[in-house]
Structure 1
């Protein structure tokens, strides 16, 4: 029964993408089928095999070491405050972003990440049937972040068609940046975070290929990463440290605002309708949660967490999931966890639109026009990833 529901779920999510397609006759089945098979194989390896456990364990152990080193800096500045319960989340989950961001800056300065990003992107373009820019952007988004990635493509932005621009933005919203992966691992099991990172990469291409099919000629597909102004090692280090701190503070501010607003809306709904807003959203999302392989008796609660991510952000939803208020089975915990690992939420529309608009006014307006369609596609990527995990876990 699990496999039947899982297969139906995948078909439904692909069908929902097809309904929103702007070129149904241009959809190419072969690369989509190849990427679906890759998702199933890679997901199974990461979650169910010794090799996968070894890879995920090594990745998690590496991030654990980094978080331990990050805590040295946090302890030095904040001392005993680190142990204060009311500041635990900010200190232990958000502030390590500063250290991870500094490491990313060093690897960027040494040209390690640009080399990896370019050639993984080129390899992906052979699989997904899309352009080199789209493949490069998907990998770069996972390293640099959903807004910073557009800086590396600023010379191409003005020449991109609306279709290509949609795919770039969809990739940015469907992935997460490496600087905050460690923070996710403080709230979710590392194997779920790593699996979601890999599956979302292909899921973003699958959904974009259905919603937004197009072909790219060789003349249009040149990756020209702009030469950055030459900076010294310590200039780069200082810049990335400050970028990481800004991300931590912005996420903290958004959490304060969103958690408070959700509490307010829950209170109003409970007083007027006798049901909280999150519980109501849970019933709306429950059928979709069920299609990812979550048992119906847990689907409403799972749907509530999934909806919370979309209307607020993934940190709020992860904190809700890890709060201990829900007693999910291991299977449901896995499916919900992988669903949460992406930037698919309403606030990301503004972040991505602002990033593109800051670099190219006209293209920023284009992104703003398809903002809701962007969120629709990125949410389907999360559901597709969840359904794959529900099928193989």
Structure 2
């Protein structure tokens, strides 16, 4: 039965992507099949083998250590202001982003990170049927984040045609940045965070190959990664401030979205007798079912999935934590991996704004295909959830 649901889900997701394809005749099926098989192998290894468990535990332990060191700095500045017995979300979840950001900056400065990203991107380009730039961008997005990644290719933006720009933006929205992984791991099981990170990378290529297929010539595929020269301490200052900005922005968005959802739920319940989130849960319930969520959980799962799309993944993870006691382990796993991406309405503005800040004309192009961008990135999340559902 799981296999039948899996195949049906693939058919639905691919059909939804095919309907909006820019070039239906140009779809390349070989790399799509290869990447689906690769996703299945990686998901099986990460979720169902001792080797995968070892990888998960190793990465999780590393982040536990890093979060412990981050806590030393946080406690020095904010020690004593937390309410006794309560977990202060801003301090425990968001503030460690500053320290993780610093470590990324150091790896970038000593030239370790650029080498890894460049050559991993080159390897991926042999598998995904896309260009080297697209492959580089997907890996770099998972390190730098959906807005910062465009800085590294800013000199290429004026020369990028719309179809290649769409793929770059889809990759950026489909993944998450390394600086924020530690925050996710305090809210959901680390194994689902890591699994989603890996599967989303290939999922972005798969959906892009259906919605936006094209061939990149050797002449078009030459690119130069921009690296700004800085002293070590200039870099430290920049990455510390960048990490703090991310934490503040996420915190501000949480305040706004949680308050707004609370207001809408109250008004909606007063008029219709059911919360707005629950109503959305019924709308998303069929999608929850096709990705493998047990029938008894589809409304609650659909509610959390819809919340992520309308607000952001943090709000949805908080909601998942509140109801996880009433959900099956399979549902928790499927919903968890669905949440690990930047695919939500606010990301349209973030990505369009980031590109516009570097090149106004291209930023306007991104804004025009913003909804289609979110559509594609959401299909990536559904595909990742489908693969996970088969393995749990």
| TM-score normalised by the chain length of structure 1 | 0.98
Matches within 5 A, 1:93-132: 93-132=93-132
* Runs of at least 5 residues in structure 2 that lack an aligned partner in the other structure: none
Whole-angstrom CA distance in 1 between matches of 2:85 and 2:27: 52
User: 3-state SS of the aligned residue for 2:88?
Assistant: helix
- The Cα of 1:80 is off from its aligned counterpart by 1.7
Asked if 2 retains the 8 angstrom alpha-carbon contact of 1:7 and 1:391, the reply is: no
Aligned to 2:383: 384
- The Cα of 1:226 is off from its aligned counterpart by 1.8
Aligned to 2:140: 140
Q: Classify 1:14/1:84 alpha carbon distance in 2 versus 1 (closer, same or farther; 3 Å).
A: farther
User: 3-state SS of the aligned residue for 1:322?
Assistant: helix
Whole-angstrom CA distance in 2 between matches of 1:82 and 1:92: 10
Cα deviation 1:84-124 (Å, max 9, x = unaligned): 46661101000000000011111111111111000000000
Whole-angstrom CA distance in 1 between matches of 2:272 and 2:227: 57
Aligned to 2:36: 36
Output the aligned Cα RMSD.
1.0
* Runs of at least 5 residues in structure 1 that lack an aligned partner in the other structure: none
Q: How many residue pairs align between the two structures?
A: 392
Whole-angstrom CA distance in 1 between matches of 2:91 and 2:83: 9
- The Cα of 1:4 is off from its aligned counterpart by 1.0
- The Cα of 1:329 is off from its aligned counterpart by 0.6
Q: Classify 1:84/1:169 alpha carbon distance in 2 versus 1 (closer, same or farther; 3 Å).
A: farther
- The Cα of 1:227 is off from its aligned counterpart by 3.5
Cα deviation 1:263-285 (Å, max 9, x = unaligned): 00000110000110000000000
Aligned to 2:329: 330
Asked if 1 retains the 8 angstrom alpha-carbon contact of 2:324 and 2:332, the reply is: no
- The Cα of 1:222 is off from its aligned counterpart by 1.1
Cα deviation 1:49-70 (Å, max 9, x = unaligned): 0110001110000000000000
Whole-angstrom CA distance in 1 between matches of 2:65 and 2:7: 39
Matches within 5 A, 1:301-340: 301-324=300-323, 327-340=326-339
Whole-angstrom CA distance in 2 between matches of 1:86 and 1:255: 18
Whole-angstrom CA distance in 2 between matches of 1:292 and 1:11: 11
Aligned to 1:182: 182
| TM-score normalised by the chain length of structure 2 | 0.99
Whole-angstrom CA distance in 2 between matches of 1:82 and 1:257: 21
- The Cα of 1:338 is off from its aligned counterpart by 0.2
Aligned to 1:88: 88
Whole-angstrom CA distance in 1 between matches of 2:188 and 2:227: 37
Cα deviation 1:181-229 (Å, max 9, x = unaligned): 000000010100000000000000000110011111010111201231x
Aligned to 1:263: 262
Asked if 2 retains the 8 angstrom alpha-carbon contact of 1:10 and 1:388, the reply is: no
Aligned to 2:374: 375
- The Cα of 1:369 is off from its aligned counterpart by 0.5
Q: Classify 1:272/1:161 alpha carbon distance in 2 versus 1 (closer, same or farther; 3 Å).
A: same
Asked if 2 retains the 8 angstrom alpha-carbon contact of 1:105 and 1:236, the reply is: yes
Whole-angstrom CA distance in 2 between matches of 1:174 and 1:285: 19
Aligned to 1:237: 236
Q: Classify 1:84/1:180 alpha carbon distance in 2 versus 1 (closer, same or farther; 3 Å).
A: farther
Whole-angstrom CA distance in 1 between matches of 2:198 and 2:283: 28
- The Cα of 1:323 is off from its aligned counterpart by 2.1
- The Cα of 1:155 is off from its aligned counterpart by 1.0
Aligned to 2:286: 287
Q: Classify 1:40/1:325 alpha carbon distance in 2 versus 1 (closer, same or farther; 3 Å).
A: closer
